[in-house]
Each structure stands twice: as structure tokens, then as C-alpha cells.
Structure 1
């Protein structure tokens, strides 16, 4: 994809995910929360130049470090979401102020990682960003689904978790 197309795809995905996070919505714990993240990961892994051949060790280290950071951040992000069961038994989620703080933190960390890569003269493709965003969303979705399934044992009341 071209640079403009990559930027547009990233902005659409971030806008889509952010808008869904900050409003109350009913979730289905059986839904395919992993579909969009796996598509993003596949897009990321499809790049033949995901690892900069001129700076292979630094590129691998940067990518591995990015993945570790986003896996931790995805887990934290999943815990910032408020989850509750409505009186009809449906499970609902809504982002909190902590969710907004997690988004801001993720953006700052991504900028820092990009700056580190630039300082090391490592070419960073948009596909690496696809891969890390996919991993982030996959972990976040898994944590939220795990927490929501924990409500299954609770009585059908207006209880809130998180």
C-alpha cells in the first residue's frame, strides 16, 4: 500500500476502535473479537521489508520490544473498561477516563518507539504498526472477553466490574 493509504487505514481503524470504546455498548462474549486484530496482524506480516535488512538486529529488537510493550498495554487497557450486566442479562461495556488515559499513553509510547527507531536509523514500515496495533487489539479484546465471561457466574443484577 502507498503511504497515504496506510495512514488512512490506520486512522480509520483507530477512529473505529476509539469510538466504540467510549460509548456504552452491549457485547456478546461469543463474538469474533479477534477478527479485525488478526487481519491487521496479517497485513503487518505480509510486508517483505518488515525487518530493515540494513539494521537487522536493531529492527528485530525494536519490533520485539514494541510487541512486548503493546501486549502489556493491551492488557492494562482491557482492565480500564467498565463491564456490567444489565437486568435482562446482557453484558455491557464502556470506556472510562482511565481508557482515555491508556489511549494517550499508547500514543506517547508509539511516538517514543518511532523516535527510537529513527535515532537508530531503522526503517519502520507502516506494516509494523499494523502488526503492533493488531496485537494490542487482540490482547485488549481477550482481557475484556475474559472479564465479561466472569460475570456469567454472577447473578443477573446491575453489577459493575472495574
Structure 2
């Protein structure tokens, strides 16, 4: 994929994730939460320009820093997300104002890394950003699923089919 396509994919994924996360929504601990991050990582790793051939050591160092920032950002985002259980046993999540601060800090750090790479003359491909975004999403989703499962275990039960249905007081005919 070209750099422009990578940038468009990054913007689309970030927009989708942000819009979804800042609204309250039920979290499903049984779904495959790791699929989107794996797809993003595979797309990023298929690109040959993720490491600058003329500045291998510096490029790998910048990539490692980018990944560490992405992982820290995912953990920070997950721990600043509000998680609660409704009376029916469903677990809900919603990002908070602290989550916005985590995002802003992560973006500022990434911009600083990009600036450092530009000053050092290191070619930086959008694949590194895509790989770090995959790391952010997998860490965040993994922690949220873990938190949701611990809430479900603490309440003693998850939601069951028909829990929210109104029951009649009279005995139903056989």
C-alpha cells in the first residue's frame, strides 16, 4: 500500500475508534477483540519501508519508541475508560476526559518522534504509525476485556437471555 493509503486507513480507524469509544456501549467479552489490531499489524509489516535502510539502528530505535508509546497509550486509554455493570449483568464502557488527555499526550509524543526523525534525516514510513496503532488497540481492548470479565465474575453472573423480560405473576398453563 502507498503512504497515502496508509494515512487514509489510519485516519479512518482512529475516527471509527474515537467515535465509538466516547459513547457508552456494551462490551462483548466473547467477540474477537484482537482481529482489527492483527489486520492492521499485518498490513503495516507487509510494507518494505518500515525501516530506513540507510539509518537502520536509528530507524529501529525510533520504531521501538513508537511501539512503546503506542502500548503505553493503549494501557493508559484502557485504565482511564469507565467500565460498569448494568442491573441486567451487561458490562458497559465509555471513555472519559482523562482518555482524551492520554490521546493528546500520545499524539504529542508521536509528533515529537517524527520531528526527531526528520531532524536526523531518517525516512519514516506511515507503516510504523499503523503498527503502533495496532499495538494501542490490542493493549486497550485486551485490558478492557479483562476488566469486563472481572466485573462479570464479581457479580456472579452474566446477562442471560430473557433476563430483561417482564414476567407475569400468574402461573402459565402447561
* 3-state SS, counterpart of residue 47 of structure 2: coil
What is the CA-CA distance between 1:154 and the residue it aligns to?
Answer: 2.1
Greater alpha carbon shift after TM alignment, 39-48 vs 63-72: 63-72
CA–CA separation in structure 2 for the residues paired with 1:136 and 1:125: 18
Q: Does 1:79 align with 2:79?
A: yes
2:172 equivalent in structure 1 = none
Q: Does 1:100 align with 2:95?
A: no
Q: Does 1:25 align with 2:25?
A: yes
1:152 equivalent in structure 2 = 152
Q: Which runs of 4+ in 1 moved over 6 A?
A: none
CA–CA separation in structure 1 for the residues paired with 2:3 and 2:154: 48
Q: Does 1:141 align with 2:141?
A: yes
What is the CA-CA distance between 1:107 and the residue it aligns to?
Answer: 1.1
What is the CA-CA distance between 1:153 and the residue it aligns to?
Answer: 2.3
Answer with 1 or 2: which has the greater Rg.
2
CA–CA separation in structure 2 for the residues paired with 1:38 and 1:57: 26
Contact 1:89–1:156 (Cα < 8 Å) also in 2? no
Contact 1:27–1:91 (Cα < 8 Å) also in 2? yes
1:99-118 correspondence runs (5 A): 99-118=99-118
What is the CA-CA distance between 1:102 and the residue it aligns to?
Answer: 1.1
Contact 1:41–1:131 (Cα < 8 Å) also in 2? yes
1:8 equivalent in structure 2 = 8
Q: How many corresponding residue pairs?
A: 157
CA–CA separation in structure 2 for the residues paired with 1:40 and 1:3: 14
What is the CA-CA distance between 1:63 and the residue it aligns to?
Answer: 0.6
1:63 equivalent in structure 2 = 63
| CA RMSD, 1 decimal | 1.4
Contact 1:88–1:156 (Cα < 8 Å) also in 2? no
What is the CA-CA distance between 1:156 and the residue it aligns to?
Answer: 6.9
1:43 equivalent in structure 2 = 43
CA–CA separation in structure 1 for the residues paired with 2:65 and 2:7: 22
2:165 equivalent in structure 1 = none
* 3-state SS, counterpart of residue 75 of structure 1: helix
